Amino acid sequence: MKATGVVVEYNPFHNGHYYHLQETKNVSGADCVIAVMSGNFLQRGEPALLSKWKRTKMALLGGADLVIELPYSFATSHAPRFAYGSIYLLQSLGAESFCFGSESGDGALFNETHDLVNSQNYTYQAKLREFIDTGLSYPSAAARAYEALETPLALDLSKPNNILGFEYVRASRELGFRIKPLTIKRKNADYHDVLLGKGDIASATAIREAVFSSDIRKAKHYMPSFTFDLLAEEQSVKGTLMNWERLYPLLRYQLLSSSPSEINTFYEVEEGLEYRMIDAMRSCDSFESFMKQLKTKRYTWTRLQRACLHVLNKIRKEDMLALLESPPGYIRVLGMTGKGREYLRSVKKSIDLPLVTTVSKHDFAGLEMEAKTSLVYAQGAVRNVLRAEKEEFNTPPVMVE
């Protein structure tokens, strides 16, 4: 069987994601689509609206055949490590290609840009440091550094999906280019759009805004019926979907009960940020107001959210760096269809990494971090906290026939 891969968060799964999966099948000609999906916490430093199990069900109903988990250490890291961990897992599972959405839609352009940037890497790194030293955030500094290269880039690396796609291509090249990059052009909605537009495709950002600020039915047109049903069920049972506000009391406790020196030991807390966090926390009664007070020109909202996430989960720098220095050490299966099960059976003997379906039978460091962070995520459950805590250990892979 021939497999292709996608890297996803599905927060939540919407019509644009459905389009991406269908086009991935078309351009790759694959029999099986493998989705590498972030767990309960996401790359922008946010808790997912729904647990990884419910988002796995969405992925399988939407067209994926096999869903595996991107470990917390990679899922909540900056773009290069996020991309590397994802592509490494897809290549380890024998995928021949991977397909990502981009503003460009031109796969050859990504390879050409990689070669061009690589040939001017010294200049790029020097310019990157120069712009960071002026107080720019990393994404802004990187965009300016690309613009400052001697040979102009044809690919616009100020666009979020182009940037992430470029990192996917860079990762595939680092891994020996055995897994082929493919891309399709994003339809209609821009990644950062906050309003529901015309047509039936909107950004996940706009959908989340609609879900939290108004009647969930206003977003129904932009998602498959199974997504709407799962969101509506969650909202009905728990009163609200998961967000930072539900975890904010726990973050406040972590900050106010810890010394500045202890907070500084957590990953991505740098340059005195611990003092700003403590000061802001004492006067803010919501996560949004806390973030607005914490925000500076140097740090993006995403960068600060990730720092908050690691404080919330008490992720120490040495533990995170130890995991990021090496590729993922296992493949955790979250769910599959009959076709996905058939593919897994066909490649099982040729996979070098151990396959994990039951967490309690393994003791990998990455799984320990997953269990720890899932326990924290469960504290945001409005009801049945004890049951939510046990999900990490008791939930078998989701099966959709």
**Could you read off the pLDDT of 33-78 as tens digits, one per residue?**
999 999 999 999 999 999 999 999 999 999 999 999 999 999 999 8
d(CA 29, CA 2): 8
Q: What gap in Å lies between CA 102 and CA 98, rounded to an integer?
A: 13
> Which residues touch 301 (CB under 8 Å, ≥6 apart)?
291, 295
Q: Which of 60, 376, 375, 379 is nearest to 392 (CA)?
A: 375
pLDDT surpasses 80 at 136: no
Is the pLDDT at 91 greater than 80, yes or no? yes
Distance (Å) of CA 349 to CA 94, 188, 283, 372 = 11, 42, 57, 31
State residue 25's pLDDT score: 96
Q: Are 203 and 196 in contact (CB under 8 A)?
A: no
Q: Which range (68-72, 289-293, 364-368) has the least confidence?
A: 364-368
Q: Which residue has the tokens 């090249």?
A: 173
Q: How far apart are CA 89 and CA 84, in angstroms?
A: 9
Instruction: Quote the distance between the C-alpha of residue 116 and its chain's center.
Output: 27
Please indicate if the annotation marks 400 as binding a ligand: no
The tokens describing 400, both together, are: 């959709």
16 is in an annotated binding site: yes
CATH architecture, range 3-103+164-189+327-399: 3-Layer(aba) Sandwich (3.40)
Contact 97, 179 (CB under 8 A): yes
Question: Cβ atoms within 10 A of the Cβ of 377, count?
Answer: 25
Q: Is 243 a residue whose pLDDT tops 70? A: yes
The response to whether 7 counts as a known ligand-binding position is yes
12 annotated to a ligand binding site: yes
Task: Inform me whether the pLDDT recorded for 191 exceeds 60.
Answer: no
Provide Rg for the chain, Cα atoms: 21
**What does the block give as tokens for 30?**
């694959």
Average pLDDT over residues 271-276: 93
Closest CA to 383 of 246, 214, 211: 246
Instruction: Classify strands 3-8 and 97-102 as parallel, antiparallel or unpaired.
Output: parallel
Between β-strands 66-70 and 331-336, what pairing exists: parallel, antiparallel or unpaired?
Answer: antiparallel
Distance in angstroms (rounded) separating the CA atoms of residues 123 and 131: 12
Q: Where in the chain is CATH 3.40.50.620? A: 3-103+164-189+327-399
Q: pLDDT class for 9, splitting at 50, 70, 90?
A: very high
For residue 354, give the DSSP letter: P
pLDDT band at 214 (very low <50, low <70, confident <90, very high): low
DSSP letters for 10-26? -TT--HHHHHHHHHHHH
Q: Residue 47 annotated as binding? A: no
Contact 366, 72 (CB under 8 A): yes
Query: Could you check whether the bond before residue 12 is cis, i.e. omega within 30 degrees of 0?
Result: yes
The reply, when asked if residue 248 is annotated as ligand binding, is no
45 is in an annotated binding site: no
The CA distance from 110 to 108, in Å, is: 5
Q: Is 10 within any annotated ligand binding site?
A: yes
Q: CB count, 10 Å around CB of 11?
A: 24
Residue type, 343: Y
Instruction: Name the residue with higher pLDDT: 384 or 287.
Output: 287
Q: What is the pTM of this model?
A: 0.93
Q: Is 17 annotated as a binding residue?
A: yes
Q: Quote the percentage of the chain above a pLDDT of 70.
A: 96
For the chain, what percent of residues have pLDDT higher than 90?
65
- Cα–Cα distance, 372 to 395 (Å, whole number): 16
